[in-house]
Amino acid sequence: AGMRVAVVGAGVSGLTATKCCLEEGLEPTCFEQSRDIGGLWRYTEHVEAGRPSLYPSVISNTSKEMSAFSDFPYPEDFPVFLPNAQLLDYLRRYAERFGLQEHIKFGTTVVSVRKRPDFVTTGQWDVVTEADGKQTSHVFDAVMVCSGNFSEPSLPLHCFPGIERFQGQYFHSRQYKHPDVFQGKRVLVVGMGNSGVDIAVEASRVAAKVTVCTSRGAWVLSRVFDHGYPWDMVFNTRLMSLIRNSLPGPLSWGLINYRVNQWFKHENYGLQPEKRYFLPVLNDDLPSYILTGRITIKPSVKEFKDHSVVFHNCPEEEPIDIVIFCTGYNVSFPFLEEADIKVENKHASLYKYVFPTHLQRPTLAVLGLIKPLGAIMPVTEMQARWVTRVFKGRRANVSSPVYQNAVRTGLILSPPCTKRDFLLKTDCLVYMDMLASFIGAKPSMLGLLCRDPRLALTMFFGPCTPYQYRLGGPGRWEGARQAILTQWDRTLKPTRTRVPTSSSSACPSLLAVVGFFLLLAALVFGF
């Protein structure tokens, strides 16, 4: 019998984990507590306990070419940025294409995952699941945790003095579905993540007034970037990554600062971030809504009163009817023992953001617990490709002295606020290359330049699409080269619906290169 692997959750991570197990000849069983696949991307009108919650207007922040699984491009007629229903449709097609449904047990909750008494020698786990009120015990050789981190809302009310006397309504963004709850009300949005800004923009169309308060500010990017191309296809290229990571810190920060302020000067809109932290918010409307007075940005809350709020450094009270806390989520694994995964300050101690550092055997992996500046789907897929090969004992890289030392000392290799952490949080390309090198799937740019210069130049100057990691090595896909060379065709197909007779056919990657050199010149002469 093959190696038995338990996969917890059938969302984005769980589906690709199941598929990667099958590719490696492992025997996956995926446990999904709800009755369908999709996880975060499956909209339900009512908030369900233990499940992520989505509001109907959610659209992906990353473009379809950058968000695709590496051997399964999106259909060319799908829009460039995907409404949640179409992203779910893509996940259904993926599950069907690779025969994943038969390996998923729906309506089954994982109650506990515990090390077996002989774990040190076997690495095995006792897994207890519950379905229709009946519990079942299983033994698995390995476990992949794909339950996400958008189920347990973080609502630190103790950080908001006076909230107990506030007479208005307040709730966490997880409860939000439709903007009609804000009709004619004075609304306060606490927090400036993607959800906070989305909800503020939606609320401002029906509310009397919307205020967003933030302690640290945020960079705001539009999905529509240079020359109207998707932001991530311009931003996440090998050339741009090389420059960002080769320049000295202050210069790299200056480049980012200059770049994001090209759309609008953040300081003038009350948005300039406090620290050198670059995990931007994606929103196409916010600056124009601030400009037209629909949304006001304020500092963090000092205290709540009966019907109003006082902000730091602002003496006057602001009347408020309703507060929505967009304060994020806690990282939690209720089915695991605390000793197996240590979670502190919303961060788990994981080697390369995947393996708990203090287990004697690398047979437990957590997928998707990283915030890349880019699409999460290809990142979780790459994690799954690496993990399944570690489970199989091939090119594990967890036999490295660094990992072994971490196991011996219980060292947390990925603590918050380290320079390395900052890099990984801002550059998924660096992280993807690292994991790809572990399994022998990292493309050799120099080798490609000699063998296939057209492909090499497209890959270096153009967007770093996930297909690059299927050109060679394990899991090689015959269609990878063609997918890379036609990535812009699939991007432009849904928008070029009317082509004038004198149409230009300038290559987007060439425009990006020209734009980059113009930017570099501006930086050199502008500083």
The residue that leads in pLDDT, 513 or 138, is 138
pLDDT at 382: 98
Q: What is the mean pLDDT of the chain?
A: 89
pLDDT at 508: 61
Percent of the chain scored above 70 by pLDDT?
87
Dist. CA 284–CA 83, nearest whole Å: 15
> Structural domains in the chain?
4-151+330-429 (3.50.50.60), 155-327 (3.50.50.60)
Rounded to an integer, the average pLDDT of 62-75 is: 98
Identity at 252, one-letter amino acid code: S
Tokens coding 82: 């995907």
Grade residue 36 by pLDDT with cuts at 50, 70 and 90.
very high
Give the model confidence (pLDDT) of 487-516 as tens digits: 999 999 999 999 888 766 555 655 555 555
pLDDT at 423: 37
pLDDT at 159: 95
Dist. CA 191–CA 300, nearest whole Å: 9
Dist. CA 159–CA 152, nearest whole Å: 18
| pLDDT surpassing 60 at residue 311 | yes
pLDDT at 341: 85
* DSSP per residue, 17-28: HHHHHHHTT-EE
Region of poorest pLDDT, from 81-85, 254-258, 464-468:
254-258
| Cα four-point dihedral sign 345, 349, 354, 359 | negative
Percent of the chain scored above 90 by pLDDT?
76
| pLDDT surpassing 60 at residue 58 | yes
Task: Find out whether 129 and 111 touch, Cβ atoms under 8 Å.
Answer: yes
pLDDT at 503: 65
Region of poorest pLDDT, from 79-83, 171-175, 416-420, 443-447:
416-420
Grade residue 422 by pLDDT with cuts at 50, 70 and 90.
very low
Tokens coding 466: 């996930």
Identity at 364, one-letter amino acid code: L
pLDDT at 256: 85
Give the model confidence (pLDDT) of 383-409 as tens digits: 999 999 999 985 445 555 445 544 443
| pLDDT surpassing 50 at residue 293 | yes
Rounded to an integer, the average pLDDT of 480-492 is: 98
> How would you label 429-455 residue by residue, b for 16+ Cβ within 10 Å and e otherwise?
bbbbbebbebbebbbeeeebeeeeeeb
Collect all residues with Cβ–Cβ distance below 8 Å to 145 and sequence separation of at least 6. Answer: 8, 9, 333, 336, 364, 365, 366, 367
Tokens coding 123: 């690495």
Give the model confidence (pLDDT) of 424-456 as tens digits: 354 789 999 999 999 999 999 999 999 999 999
Dist. CA 230–CA 295, nearest whole Å: 25
pLDDT at 107: 97
pLDDT at 51: 87
pLDDT at 379: 97
| pLDDT surpassing 50 at residue 201 | yes
Grade residue 371 by pLDDT with cuts at 50, 70 and 90.
confident
pLDDT at 414: 38
* CB-count burial class (<10 Å; 0-12, 13-18, 19+) for 304: buried
Give the model confidence (pLDDT) of 352-369 as tens digits: 999 998 899 999 999 999
DSSP 175: G
3-state secondary structure of 58: coil
pLDDT at 353: 92
Rounded to an integer, the average pLDDT of 338-344 is: 79
Collect all residues with Cβ–Cβ distance below 8 Å to 250 and sequence separation of at least 6. Answer: none
| pLDDT surpassing 60 at residue 251 | yes
pLDDT at 345: 63
What's the half-sphere exposure (Cβ side, CA atoms, 13 Å) at 218?
A: 22
